Amino acid sequence: MTDALPVLLFIAAVMIGVGVLIWRSQQIEKRRRAEYQAFADRRGLAYALSKARGGPTIIQFTDRARGLTLTVTRAYSKSSNGKSRTTPGNTKIQLADPRLPGGIALYAPEMAAGVATAASKVMGIFDNSLSKMLLGKLLGDDIGAYLGEMHDHPAPEGIALTIMATVNPNPLFDARLIEHALSEIPTARNAERKSMVLITESGLQIRAGRDFREVAEIERFLDIAQTLQAGLRR
Mark whether 116 and 33 lie in a shared domain: no
Mark whether 24 and 131 lie in a shared domain: no
Mark whether 124 and 225 lie in a shared domain: yes
Mark whether 98 and 162 lie in a shared domain: yes
Mark whether 10 and 110 lie in a shared domain: no
User: What's the confidence (pLDDT) of residue 54?
Assistant: 73
Whether 71 is in a domain gets the answer no
Sequence-ordered alpha helix ranges (H) in the chain: 5-43, 115-125, 129-139, 141-144, 175-184, 215-233
Mark whether 28 and 130 lie in a shared domain: no
Whether 179 is in a domain gets the answer yes
Mark whether 161 and 221 lie in a shared domain: yes
Closest C-alpha to 144, from 153, 152, 133: 133
Q: How many domains does the chain have?
A: 2
Whether 9 is in a domain gets the answer yes
Mark whether 23 and 98 lie in a shared domain: no
- How confident is the model over 127-156, as a mean pLDDT? 61
pTM value is 0.77
| Gap between the Cα atoms of 107 and 206, Å rounded | 10
Question: Whole domain around residue 223: which residue ranges?
Answer: 81-233
Whether 137 is in a domain gets the answer yes
Q: 176-223 pLDDT, tens per residue? A: 999 999 999 987 666 556 789 999 999 999 999 889 999 999 999 999
Mark whether 26 and 114 lie in a shared domain: no
User: What's the confidence (pLDDT) of residue 193?
Assistant: 66
The pLDDT of residue 115 is above 70: no
Mark whether 39 and 155 lie in a shared domain: no
Q: 1-46 pLDDT, tens per residue? A: 556 666 665 666 666 666 656 556 656 678 889 999 999 999 999 9
Whether 64 is in a domain gets the answer no
Mark whether 111 and 205 lie in a shared domain: yes
Residues 6+ apart with CB under 8 A from 27: none
Whether 189 is in a domain gets the answer yes
Whether 146 is in a domain gets the answer yes
Whether 32 is in a domain gets the answer yes
User: What's the confidence (pLDDT) of residue 133?
Assistant: 45
| Gap between the Cα atoms of 75 and 67, Å rounded | 26
CB 182 within 8 A of CB 195: yes
Mark whether 27 and 107 lie in a shared domain: no
**Alpha-carbon distances of 189 from 57, 93, 211, 218, rounded to whole Å:** 20, 20, 11, 17
pLDDT band at 48 (very low <50, low <70, confident <90, very high): very high
User: What's the confidence (pLDDT) of residue 81?
Assistant: 67
User: What's the confidence (pLDDT) of residue 67?
Assistant: 93
> Can you say whether the dihedral through the CA atoms of 219, 221, 75, 44 is positive or negative?
positive
